Amino acid sequence: MNIKLLLSNILLLATLVASAQQPQSKAQLNAQKFATTLYLIDNFYVDTVNSEKVVEDAIVAALRELDPHSAYISKKDVEKANEPLVGSFEGIGVTFQLIRDTITVIGPTPGGPSEKVGIMAGDQFIKIDGENAFGKKIDNEYVQKHLRGKKGTKVTVSVKRGRDKELMDFEIIRDKIPLNSINAAFMMEKHVGYIKLDRFAQDSDKEFKNAMEKLQAQGMKSLILDLRSNSGGYLNTAIEMVDEFLDANQLIVYTEGLNSKRQEWRSSEKGAYTDGKLVVLIDEGSASASEILSGAVQDHDRGVLIGRRSFGKGLVQRPFNLPDGAVIRLTTARYHTPTGRCIQRPYEGGAEDYYKEMTKRLEHGEYYHADSIHFPDSLKYKTDKGRIVYGGGGIMPDIFMPVDTSYNSKLYTNLVRKGVFNKYTVDYAMAHRDQVKAEYKEFSQFNKKFQVTEAMVGEIKKLAETEKVKWNEEEYRRSEKYIKLQVKALIARNIWETQQYYEVTLKEDPTIKKALEVIGNDREYHKLLN
């Protein structure tokens, strides 16, 4: 693109618009002013200027003055920004971690190209297309550049497996890889199902409906929907999911802005789960679409919310394409729950102050004590059955659950931070996969009977020392239960799949225990909703 010609055209257009419409509006005057500035820089500035960068920086600076969620996305970043929500990419299909500067497979995508040729969890990629693929040069960008690629193209990986001295070569034909948004869906108890939703992607509603059908076929009568740390996604996906829970013609959400008329979304008659007990789990990481779903459930007294106050993102971003392929995501309206609550928390203090909100909540004690949260009466609303709820910044759950600090210690934190758990469990899975699967024919047997032994703890201790983590026995005893639980869960994930990680850890999750308690007590459940 000839940037000088473009700027001249912009200036000419702005001038023509201004002269054709008298008097000038502020928008017209500002457009002419900005175009004139760019023209002057490009034609009279003392040095050579990268005009494209000047324009991009100006757009970014302008959007920064509006709100924390309006954003500029350059042409090269558009596809990458959409990928987690579009729900697929093209590559070899593995989940990996960089362990000891080596690409280590956590698991192949079920049905993906890597699984088809025999890649297994624990495999280490030593060479990619004959080039050494280990050492300090290896980072996430390197992996994406070398393993992702167009569908139908080939890549050869040389793999070290377990204690085998010789590398194994695999030729993998890249394909379209689905990004599933449901991390786990299983029966927790006889009639209680559990679904962990990671994000509201393009096809999440279809995944959700399939998961619901499978759980209902297994006898599910009550559901725990886990939206903790779910940062949101597509509005339409959230609406389709809420629709499963509500009766016909109930308001789900509405949007409204200065230049955007009120727009409502209501439930249809197709809800497949309108009667069973429902518990939704949220926390400070639950945002946007998560808040739309939990707000509608709460306002219509359809289910019980358990956890901590959600993030508070209730601004609608509409994408606008720019001439060079870049995109501006501009905030055009606000989300409101059925009662009229505005989900968005204040951002008048600027973006930096806005993103320090979570730190402020921690300092104020909100993660530990519900009574540290104060809502003004002006933000008070009533649900369908007359329960008091509050707007003005996130969704407050019906039952508050503080952050669980019972297992926390400096030792536990450092073991996680230094990757000791991941390194140990990957090595363990590689060395003992066949033995574990032979001893435990089904995962359920492993979950009931497998124990992390003191010998294994000794090996973890040695690895911790290698990774320069100081082992403190007093801190170990404080965190022993959770250290062993984390190790067992990661072994399960490395030998089976991600869902098995959740099946192990959730047994000791205080919020899950509370959800099961509420579901198991009819009187308490209905009292909370009345």
Active-site residue, selected from the candidate residues 313, 423, 488, 514? 313
Among 122, 144, 178, give the residue marking a domain's end.
178
Task: Single out the residue in 161, 178, 195 at which a domain terminates.
Answer: 178
- In-domain check, residue 63: no
Band of the pLDDT at 42, cuts 50, 70, 90? confident
Task: Measure CA 85 to chain center.
Answer: 10
User: Does the pLDDT of residue 490 top 90, yes or no?
Assistant: yes
The CA distance from 257 to 275, in Å, is 35
pLDDT at 248 over 60: yes
Q: Do residue 234 and residue 134 come from a single domain?
A: no
Q: To 10 degrees, what angle do helices 420-439 and 473-495 make?
A: 50
More confident residue, 388 or 349: 388
Average pLDDT over residues 333-343: 95
Q: Record the pTM.
A: 0.82
Q: How far apart are CA 206 and CA 204, in angstroms?
A: 5
Residue with tokens 């040695």: 462
| Statement to judge: residues 231 and 356 lie in one domain | yes
- Would you state the structure tokens that stand for residue 346, as one six-digit string? 């204040």
In this prediction, residues 376-398 reach a mean pLDDT of 89
335 phi and psi, to 5 degrees? -85, 140
Residue 452 sits in the same domain as residue 323: no
Specify the number of domains making up the chain: 4
Q: 80 in a domain, yes or no?
A: no
153 and 190 both lie in a single domain = no
Q: How many Å is the Cα radius of gyration of the chain?
A: 27
Helix, coil or strand: residue 171: strand
The predicted pLDDT at position 519 comes to: 98
Read off φ and ψ for residue 253, nearest 5 degrees. Answer: -165, 155
Residue 193 lies in a domain: yes
- 299 is an active site residue: yes
Q: Is 446 exposed, middle or buried (0-12, 13-18, 19+ CB in 10 A)?
A: buried
The verdict on residue 312 lying in a domain is yes
pLDDT of res. 1: 47
**pLDDT at residue 214 is higher than 90:** yes
pLDDT-based confidence at 301, cuts 50/70/90?
very high
Q: pLDDT value at position 3?
A: 53
Name the amino acid, one letter, at 39. Y
User: Is the CB of residue 317 less than 8 Å from the CB of residue 257?
Assistant: no
Question: For position 199, which CATH number holds?
Answer: 3.90.226.10
Mean pLDDT calculated for residue range 225-235: 92
C-alpha 127/C-alpha 102 separation (Å) is 10
**Tell me, what's the pLDDT at 226?**
98
Residue 201: Cβ within 10 Å count: 25
- CA 23 from centroid of its chain's CA atoms: 49
Check whether residue 294 and residue 355 sit in a common domain.
yes
| Residue 81 maps to a domain | no
Q: Which domain holds residue 118?
A: 88-178
Instruction: Give the separation between CA 425 and CA 487, rounded to whole angstroms.
Output: 6
Shared-domain flag, residues 193 and 298: yes
pLDDT tens per residue, range 136-150: 888 888 888 899 889
- Select which of 70, 288, 310, 479 is catalytic: 288
| pLDDT (0 to 100) of residue 500 | 95
List, for residues 80-115, the tens digit of each pLDDT value.
676 655 556 788 988 787 877 889 887 787 768 888
- What is the chain's mean pLDDT, rounded? 88
Residue 53 has pLDDT above 70, yes or no: yes
More confident residue, 102 or 5: 102
Is residue 270 located within the same domain as residue 364?
yes
**Mean pLDDT (whole number) for 506-512:** 95
Catalytic residue check, 288: yes
Enumerate residues 6+ apart whose C-beta is below 8 A from 343: 291, 292, 295, 310, 312, 313, 314, 334, 335, 336, 337, 391, 393, 394, 395
267 is catalytic: no
Return the minimum-mean-pLDDT range out of 97-111, 158-172, 284-298, 505-519.
97-111
Strand partners, 260: 257
Residues 212, 93, single domain; the answer is: no
Note whether 198 and 305 are same-domain residues: yes
Identify whether 343 is part of a domain. yes
Q: Are residues 171 and 190 in the same domain?
A: no
Cis bond upstream, residue 23 (ω within 30): yes
Tell me whether residue 43 is in a domain: yes
Q: Tokens for 161?
A: 């497996």
Residue 158 and residue 261 share a domain = no
Kindly name the residue from 175, 226, 299, 509 that is annotated as catalytic: 299
